[in-house]
A and B are shown apart, each in its own frame.
Chain A
Amino acid sequence: MIWNESIECMNREGIRALQGKRLVETVERVYHNVKFYRNKMQDLGLEPGDIKDIDDLYKLPFTTKDDLRENYPFGLFSVPMSEVVRVHASSGTTGKPTVVGYTRKDLSTWSEVVARTLTCAGIQKHDRIQIAYGYGLFTGGLGVHYGSEKVGATVIPISGGNTAKQIQLMQDFESTAIACTPSYALYLAEALEEQGIDPETLNIKVGIFGAEPWTENMRKEIESKLKIKAIDIYGLSEIIGPGVSSECEAQDGLHIFEDHFIPEVVDTNTLNPLGYGEKGELVFTTVTKEALPILRYRTRDLTILKDEVCSCGRTMVRMEKCTGRSDDMLIIRGVNIFPSQIESVLLEISETKPHYLLIVERINNLDTLEVWVEVDGVFFSDEIKKLEFLTKKITHAIESALGIGVKVKLVEPKTIERSEGKAKRVVDKRII
């Protein structure tokens, strides 16, 4: 099954022509409506007329996460707020999350691409989909929700967590599909095992898993433990949310819905465009979004693009599963975390700049974050209760900034390796 066959199986020339036409319209719109892009284009000596077709894409300026932060909250919106019917925001922290907006048409586009995603995974109107992504400012829950309704599936909007309830509803409501992070899927599998529930007795046949990187080995584990098909989906709020690309049942790369999002892969150092088959940083330009059109957004995700037609018949360019990043961002339980965010929390607590190290592990299929903080003269008290109070204070401050639980560990001075260049702040022990 293909949701929108005329688009998803269009020939390459047709797609490129459509992308070119939409790109020209997008550039025209952002130039006139978004000061940030007008300034950037003028700095490059560019006028909207210089962008005539898809081949001119590389002339356009890049957009980064910092650009969104600096224009917090609505500075990059290209329509008046009266046209914006929904906003979402990254988990972001330090008081400056990245905020994204949607017009009524954007929400309809979003539902369309998620509908394609679900159909890629074999989910249809007679399915019952349990949505265990978080609902709220995070795009995962509501994004998949509206796409599922568009497909006509029965939505079970349970949101994240509450494993006992998840299992109970799987049994009672006879859910046929689940949407969550891949690590939570493994966690569920173990919970089922502990309760002595055979996954074969459930009706789940497929899961759509995203919001964090995962490997083929993890897929094998999920599929064998839960006895389902595990489909990788990809998205990011800056582009639209879930629904940017999705694997089909062939499980051979993720189809990018490129009539809405033009993909590129660039060299991480030179930022020069790379060809199909070459590994680099994934960049997206949105060409249909109204509220927040984005030119050449640097995702920091590393991947390879390929343009061969898939065995499923879809012609859209595919991207390989993302497993690496070109920056130091960590994705922990679906939440994006930069070490600098923890640093700024620590700076607020102590007057001196503390040395710290983040230890990330995956224990029982759940990511854990341990923050090591050196105890120096400023921190040190000879009373245990004061050190314990300090530990609690740091834990609480980090948890309220990041929105996820952490374990703070006090360590001796100089425990954390000093380096001449960029400090090593993260030890990621996860095998994914």
Chain B
Amino acid sequence: MIIKQLSIFLENKSGRLTEVTKTLGDHNINITALSVADTSEYGILRLIVSDPEKAVIVLKENGFSVSLTDVICIVVPHKPGALNKALNVFSTEKISIEYMYAFEMNGKASVIMKVTDIFESIEILKKRELELLKASDAYMV
């Protein structure tokens, strides 16, 4: 249930994003989902990839500041109100979300989330019958 997300520090200068995608492509690493959080001077690129451990090694070799972060991915039906229903669970259970981003998979919406206390959160979400994506599935979209 715990998915390893790559977090990469990027200065706001042209070409840096291209170098990340080139490095991953050259090493046959596929990108499942991505998001960029940006400030005026730098951004953090967050990626779910097919082989996170290998990606860390090759990105570090290419001079990037990169780390692995534990995230979860919930799957909700691709229809109006579905995300709201899921998020209600988070608020009633008082699970706070640091950040989130979404992608579509098999006609369903998948939402990557960084939550506080990931182990406890997983237990609660399972009890509340939310669908959580397995790491291996997330890597192999």
Residue B21 interfacial (CB < 8 Å): no
- Please, how many angstroms separate the alpha-carbon atoms of A388 and B9 in the complex? 13
Residues in B whose Cβ lies below 8 Å from that of A415? 11
Determine chain B's interface SS by DSSP, over half rule. strand
- CB of A380 within 8 A of CB of B7, answer yes
Residues in B whose Cβ lies below 8 Å from that of A409? 41
Stretch at the interface among B64-72, B103-111, B122-130: B64-72
Query: Which listed residue, B44, B63, B64, touches A382 by the CB 8 Å rule?
Result: B44
- Indicate whether A380 sits within 8 Å of B67 (C-beta atoms), given known contacts A411-B11, A412-B9: yes
Distance in Å: Cβ of A256 to nearest Cβ of chain B: 47
Max count, chain B CB within 10 A of own CB: residue among A377, A383, A412? A412
Query: Which listed residue, A376, A383, A384, A388, touches B65 by the CB 8 Å rule?
Result: A376
Residue A413 interfacial (CB < 8 Å): yes
Residue of B nearest to A386 (CB): B98
Query: Which listed residue, A383, A388, A412, touches B64 by the CB 8 Å rule?
Result: A412
Residues in A whose Cβ lies below 8 Å from that of B41? 409-410
Interface size class of A (residues with CB under 8 A): 10 to 19
Query: Which listed residue, A377, A384, A388, touches B67 by the CB 8 Å rule?
Result: A377
Residues in B whose Cβ lies below 8 Å from that of A388? 39
Interface size class of B (residues with CB under 8 A): 20 to 34
Residues in A whose Cβ lies below 8 Å from that of B42? 375, 387, 410-411
- Please, how many angstroms separate the alpha-carbon atoms of A387 and B46 in the complex? 15
Residue A422 interfacial (CB < 8 Å): no
Max count, chain B CB within 10 A of own CB: residue among A375, A384, A414? A384
- CB of B63 within 8 A of CB of A414, answer yes
- CB of B44 within 8 A of CB of A413, answer no
Residue of A nearest to B98 (CB): A383
- Please, how many angstroms separate the alpha-carbon atoms of A411 and B64 in the complex? 11
- Indicate whether A384 sits within 8 Å of B39 (C-beta atoms), given known contacts A410-B9, A411-B11: yes
Residues in B whose Cβ lies below 8 Å from that of A377? 65, 67
Max count, chain A CB within 10 A of own CB: residue among B44, B65, B98? B65
Residues in B whose Cβ lies below 8 Å from that of A374? 65
* Residues in B1-17 with C-beta less than 8 Å from chain A: 5, 7, 9-11, 16
* Residues in B42-78 with C-beta less than 8 Å from chain A: 42, 44, 46, 63-67, 69
Distance in Å: Cβ of B3 to nearest Cβ of chain A: 13
- CB of B64 within 8 A of CB of A413, answer yes
Distance in Å: Cβ of A376 to nearest Cβ of chain B: 6
- Indicate whether A375 sits within 8 Å of B9 (C-beta atoms), given known contacts A382-B46, A382-B69: yes
Distance in Å: Cβ of B32 to nearest Cβ of chain A: 17
Distance in Å: Cβ of B124 to nearest Cβ of chain A: 22
- CB of A375 within 8 A of CB of B65, answer yes
Task: Pick 11 A–B contacts, CB within 8 A, sort by A.
Answer: A377-B67, A380-B65, A382-B7, A382-B69, A382-B114, A383-B44, A384-B39, A384-B44, A412-B63, A412-B65, A414-B63
Query: Which 10 A/B pairs are nearest by Cβ-Cβ distance?
Result: A382-B7, A382-B69, A414-B63, A375-B9, A375-B65, A413-B65, A380-B65, A412-B11, A384-B37, A380-B67
Additional A-B contact list (8), CB under 8 Å, known A382-B114, A384-B37, A411-B11: A375-B9, A376-B65, A380-B7, A382-B44, A383-B114, A410-B41, A412-B9, A413-B64
